[in-house]
Amino acid sequence: MPCPKWCRGCRVNLVLHSSRHRQALDALVCGYSSERWAKKGIFVLQAFVDDSGSATGEKRLFLAGYILSVETWKSFSDEWAEALQEPRALKCLHMTQSFYDWTKGERNRKIERLAAVIKKYRPLSIECSISTRDFKEILAPHSPYDLRHPYFACFHALVIQSAKLVEHFGLEGPLDFVFDVQGNVGPDAAIWYEVIKQLQGPSVRKILGGPPIFRNDEEVLPLQAADMLVWHRRLIREPTCPEQQRDVAGSLVFTHAVVDVPREILQSWADAFGKVPGIEAVKYRKGSVKKVVAGMVRNLPPHRLIPAMEALERRARRLRRLKAVMGLLGLSRLWKKFAKKKSIVIR
């Protein structure tokens, strides 16, 4: 199958080896039953993703990561660990922290050595970025409080486009996501994963695996490769990027997808939020949306999530009409008692 416009050549290697880093990777997929592993065609893919933010211009937020099979990641991790330990040794790669007292030559040699590991395995890769300036201007004023961080939009755009990239190359998945630890903003975005997943077509739903998880990159080595990728992909979008860094950035991608969230999409989301009944009631209440969605995801099977949310919207419409009618009849105090008893917030 030919590559789409945003891709260049593809190859996925499958190599078996063993190390302590493999145990960390095995732990990420231990939830799959042995019966499922034994089924013909099971081929678990993992995407390891990190983020980087620009401090100039639009102040774009970037998420980027690599995709390979679980078994390939094990071999990759062994070789990555070996490259880290070669002189001058690094305990862990963090592009913004690791080279504080290194010479330029030492830094370049270590980056070239680690880039060689990535080149050997030629993983699929993807980046997604969003302008935080545009987000704050267009979408944030219309969003529920819990969704007012650009990470949310970037997170789900990357997840869905990663599944479409995998589908394009005929890889069946499941595709699981491992993100670098990001405080609360990552888990808050992940709460919506099953909801967003159920809104996709059957082929994408089939590829997407279990809910994304968040891990420390000191233990899960592919996250360090994702850190290296996203740092360089952000840098080349800045006007001051040196040519040498552009060359390194180019050496880190082989089959690569670029997804930019444009202003038009942000405006369409803002318009959609503006039409949601009761949106004003949750614009300034922290946790108001998150608690409801988390409870639904926890208590309902995936195929019932969207019908349940539609039923919740219909209920909100009915309650709003009831509040209006009771107000016209001079029964506002009675409504307040009813709403308090039922823990209803309608504005």
CATH number, domain with residue 105? 3.30.420
Q: Within a domain: residue 145?
A: yes
Q: Within a domain: residue 108?
A: yes
- Quote the tokens at residue 48: 């390891």
Residues whose CB is less than 8 angstroms from the CB of residue 42 and which lie 6 or more positions away in sequence, other chains included: 32, 36
Q: How far is CA 128 from the centre of its chain?
A: 9
The number of domains in the chain is: 1
Range with the poorest average pLDDT among 59-73, 102-116, 166-180, 307-321: 307-321
Strands (DSSP E) contained in the chain are 45-53, 60-69, 124-131, 175-180, 213-215, 255-261
pLDDT at res. 268: 87
186: pLDDT strictly greater than 50: yes
Q: Within a domain: residue 150?
A: yes
Task: List the end-to-end C-alpha distance of the chain, in Å, as a whole number.
Answer: 53
Q: Within a domain: residue 306?
A: no
% pLDDT > 70, the chain: 71
Q: How far is CA 28 from the centre of its chain?
A: 16
Q: Within a domain: residue 308?
A: no
CA dihedral 266, 267, 268, 274 (to 10 degrees): 110
Q: Within a domain: residue 11?
A: no
3-state helix, strand, coil split of the chain in percent (to 5) is: 55, 15, 35
Q: Within a domain: residue 342?
A: no
Q: Report pTM.
A: 0.80
16: β partners: none
Taking CA atoms, 73 is separated from 19, 76, 141, 147, 170, in Å, by 12, 5, 41, 33, 19
302: pLDDT strictly greater than 60: yes
Q: Within a domain: residue 285?
A: no
* CA atoms of 290 and 185, how far apart (whole Å): 12
pLDDT digits (tens, 9 = 90+) for 26-60: 666 544 544 554 443 456 899 999 999 998 889 99
pLDDT digits (tens, 9 = 90+) for 100-137: 999 999 999 999 999 999 999 999 999 999 999 999 99
Average pLDDT score over residue span 176-199: 88
Mean pLDDT for the chain?
81
Residue 67 domain boundaries: 20-275
